[in-house]
DNA sequence: CGATTGGTTCTCTTGTTGCAGAACCAGAAG
DNA sequence: CTTCTGGTTCTGCAACAAGAGAACCAATCG
């Protein structure tokens, strides 16, 4: 594997940080970065390990996690015991939209809070209602938009694999 | 302060957990829950402390954080040294949309990854482009939806205060 | 002045996270 | 069989986060 430029390494780190802040552990975030940026889109366990200076255990654990959540997959090659890991793109949109909408989980709880209230606090209840209305609106908008996207962008149904998020 | 029902306490905890999972510390999440659920929408430092069984330090720190991010504010009353904390709703939508769109920060990095690539990896680049396209589309959708909401739902411009997220 | 109230900040404890290192395991090769 | 290769699992440690308790500070009251 040709070694990476300074710029590429930096980009990988920034992708790592971004995932970090979404609650994904650093090593996994960097692996995603590497697989996105690498000139070779299929890397072996050891190539990843060396490129990112990770221990075998950290690498193995992170890779397993990424496969579990569908962000990464691997292929094998005949007569070769190594695994070739790569970023998975399949079904990425669906997963993204789902996580995106999960963000609106608060709406349910706000609704509970609202109808658990009795008389009084009219202003407060109005604000709550407004929040709930807005969340509902956004949620519906996203759902509609997603369907629209799906219908206009048929997946290029090539060697589709299986996967999820960035 | 009238004490809370079992149901209310439970709802507060669930609101707490939800915030927890969004990276907000437990004590702060529960305070938000309490302020949303409480029959009295304005609570003093000590009422919060006692209702949630928090130490003064934990309470103080969490409240400060919540004020910093604009989710909570306080009022005072003439001839009373206490602070009356309450949930802030002002500008909540804007903050929510902003955080929501920050989620798309990955798009910038994906674009960098894409145009940092040279020849080859055509399939991979196509997938990347598709991701970027989708993120752009969603982002624009949300922005448009937000503007639409704004124009149809003028804020009730009452005693507006200052604030942000749930 | 000293005592009380309302809240803040400092220090220490506990629990959790993220990872390295080493032991481990399965399949292939000799 | 032994040895090597590719990867997984276990153990232990360092760094960090969350919060309790106590010391502290400022304003008010007597």
Torsion of CA B30, B32, B35, B38, to 10 degrees: -40
Ranges of chain B with pLDDT below 50: 158-166
**Bridge partners (DSSP) listed for residue A77:** A80
Q: Which pTM does this prediction carry?
A: 0.88
Identify the CA nearest to B127 among candidates B112, B110, B140: B110
| Measured CA B127 to C1' C16 distance, in angstroms | 37
Identify the CA nearest to A2 among candidates A50, A72, A62: A50
Mutate to test the interface with A, among B41, B109, B128 (most CBs of A within 10 A): B109
H-assigned helices in chain B: 6-21, 26-37, 45-52, 56-68, 92-102, 106-115, 122-152
* Half-sphere exposure at residue A45, Cβ-oriented, CA atoms within 13 angstroms: 15
Question: What does the mean pLDDT of chain A come to?
Answer: 90
Chain A closest CA to B66's CA: distance in Å?
Answer: 17
> Beta carbon of B161 within 7 Å of strand C?
no
Both tokens of residue A11?
Answer: 């980009």
Which helix (H) or strand (E) segment is A141 a member of? helix A122-152
| Measured CA B79 to C1' D29 distance, in angstroms | 13
**Which residues of chain B lie closer than 8 angstroms to A158, CB-CB?**
123
> Beta carbon of B75 within 7 Å of strand C?
no
Chain B closest CA to A52's CA: distance in Å?
Answer: 17
Longest C-alpha distance within chain A, in Å? 74
Q: How many CB atoms lie within 10 A of CB A163?
A: 21
Report the alpha-carbon distance of residue A155 to residue A161 in Å, rounded. 12
| Measured CA A127 to C1' D29 distance, in angstroms | 39
Whole-number pLDDT of residue B2: 62
Q: Are A54 and A25 in contact (CB under 8 A)?
A: no
Q: Are B48 and B3 in contact (CB under 8 A)?
A: no
> Beta carbon of A21 within 7 Å of strand C?
no
10-residue mean pLDDT profile of chain A (166 residues): values are 86 96 95 97 97 97 97 95 96 88 89 93 95 95 94 64 43
Judged by DSSP in three states, B80 sits in: strand
Nearest residue on chain A to B154, alpha-carbon basis = A130
The answer to whether the CB atoms of A103 and B106 lie below 8 A apart is no
| Measured CA B81 to C1' C2 distance, in angstroms | 20
Q: Are B45 and B85 in contact (CB under 8 A)?
A: yes
Residue B164: DSSP 8-state: -
Judged by DSSP in three states, A142 sits in: helix
pLDDT in tens, B29-42: 999 999 999 999 99
Whole-number pLDDT of residue A1: 55
Torsion of CA A91, A163, B98, B65, to 10 degrees: 150
**Which residues of chain A lie closer than 8 angstroms to B128, CB-CB?**
36
> Beta carbon of A25 within 7 Å of strand C?
yes
**Residues whose CB is less than 8 angstroms from the CB of residue B152 and which lie 6 or more positions away in sequence, other chains included:** none
The answer to whether the CB atoms of A113 and B141 lie below 8 A apart is no
How many angstroms separate the Cα of A33 from the Cα of each of A87, A105, A141? 9, 29, 30
Round to the nearest angstrom and report the end-to-end CA distance of chain A: 23
Report the alpha-carbon distance of residue A137 to residue A131 in Å, rounded. 10
Judged by DSSP in three states, B78 sits in: coil
pLDDT in tens, A7-43: 999 999 999 999 999 999 999 999 999 999 999 999 9
Report the alpha-carbon distance of residue A24 to residue B107 in Å, rounded. 17
Nucleotide nearest to B64 (CA to C1'): C8
Q: Are A117 and B39 in contact (CB under 8 A)?
A: yes
Nucleotide nearest to A25 (CA to C1'): C18
How many angstroms separate the Cα of B77 from the Cα of each of B41, B82, B85? 15, 8, 11
């Amino acid at each position: 594997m040709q070694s990476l430029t300074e710029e590429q390494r930096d980009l990988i780190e920034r992708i790592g940080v971004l995932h970090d802040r979404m609650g994904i552990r650093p090593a996994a975030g960097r692996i995603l970065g590497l697989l996105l940026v690498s000139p070779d889109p299929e890397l072996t366990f050891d190539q990843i390990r060396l490129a990112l200076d990770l221990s075998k255990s950290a690498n193995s654990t992170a890779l397993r996690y990424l496969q579990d959540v569908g962000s990464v997959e691997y292929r094998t090659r005949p007569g070769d015991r190594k695994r070739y890991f790569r970023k998975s793109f399949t079904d990425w949109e669906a997963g993204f939209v789902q996580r995106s909408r999960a963000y609106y989980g608060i709406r349910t709880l706000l609704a509970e809070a609202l109808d658990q209230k009795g008389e009084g606090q009219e202003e407060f209840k109005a604000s709550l209602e407004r929040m709930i209305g807005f969340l509902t609106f956004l949620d519906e908008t996203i759902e509609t938009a997603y369907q629209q996207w799906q219908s206009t962008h048929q997946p290029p149904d090539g060697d589709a694999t299986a996967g999820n998020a960035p």
